[in-house]
Chains A and B, each alone.
Chain A
Amino acid sequence: EIVMTQSPATLSVSPGERATLSCRASQSVSSKLAWYQQKPGQAPRLLIYGASTRATGIPARFSGSGSGTDFTLTISSLQSEDFAVYYCQHYNNWPPGRFTFGPGTKVDIK
């Protein structure tokens, strides 16, 4: 089973600053990685899939990079609505249909 880790657990950032979140897989997942944003009391929202493709309607300040085992989600200039918890998820299982999430990174206001 592929284990996902995320760092840091909490990231304190000032509005307008850049945020860099890390996700690591215990073995290669190729580019089969997604990122989600979750705000308190809300369902998760898909941000990025295929490691770097923004989902429909996601602002350009969100970008994803990486492949293999190391991935990064970057928020170029944090807006007030971006303070949330971010999860990565891989989908490189065979056969497909089983999924694993990372433990999440909380981005809060500095």
Chain B
Amino acid sequence: EVQVVDSGGGLVQPGGSLRLSCAASGFTFNRYSMNWVRQAPGKGLEWVSYISSSSSTIYYADSVKGRFTVSRDNAKNSVYLQMNSLRDEDTAVYYCARDWSASFFDYWGLGTLVTVSS
């Protein structure tokens, strides 16, 4: 059974940092690209970052470019999102999601809440 478990959210002050983790199981992790998608309270879905299966290709949304860094460890079946210089507008539930060949998202984590507030 495919499982994606995201974690690491919490309360952080503006300008602070946080690292999210995503642990995957039930599939051959090193064959799939992974993504982070976020949802601000009461708002829609916003794609945040993409990392290819070998980490050779990485993309970010303009809203987080230069502040967030995505990485993965295929030996640990995990993907990470390092978030620096956090802003109030980064407050959201962050979902880790597997994509099918850089197309649609077929498996999602339950989400982890990041709250940026003083």
Contacts and interface: CB of A to CB of B under 8 A. Distances in A.
A39 interface: no
A44 B46 contact: no
A91 B104 contact: yes
B104 A43 contact: no
A10 to B, nearest CB: 13
B1 to A, nearest CB: 12
18 contacts: A34-B103, A34-B105, A42-B110, A43-B95, A43-B110, A44-B95, A49-B104, A87-B45, A89-B45, A89-B104, A91-B103, A91-B104, A96-B103, A97-B52, A97-B59, A98-B47, A98-B50, A102-B44
A54 interface: no
A89 B50 CA distance: 15
A96 to B, nearest CB: 4
B108 interface: yes
A36 B104 CA distance: 10
A10 B76 CA distance: 42
A46 B105 contact: yes
Nearest to B60: A98
The range of chain B's interface size is 20 to 34
Given A43-B110, A43-B111, A44-B95, A97 B104 contact: no
Given A87-B44, A89-B105, 11 more contacts: A32-B103, A36-B45, A44-B37, A45-B108, A46-B104, A49-B103, A98-B50, A99-B35, A99-B47, A101-B45, A104-B45
B97 to A, nearest CB: 8
B54 to A, nearest CB: 13
A55 B105 contact: no
A43 B33 CA distance: 19
Given A43-B95, A101-B44, A96 B110 contact: no
A100 interface: yes
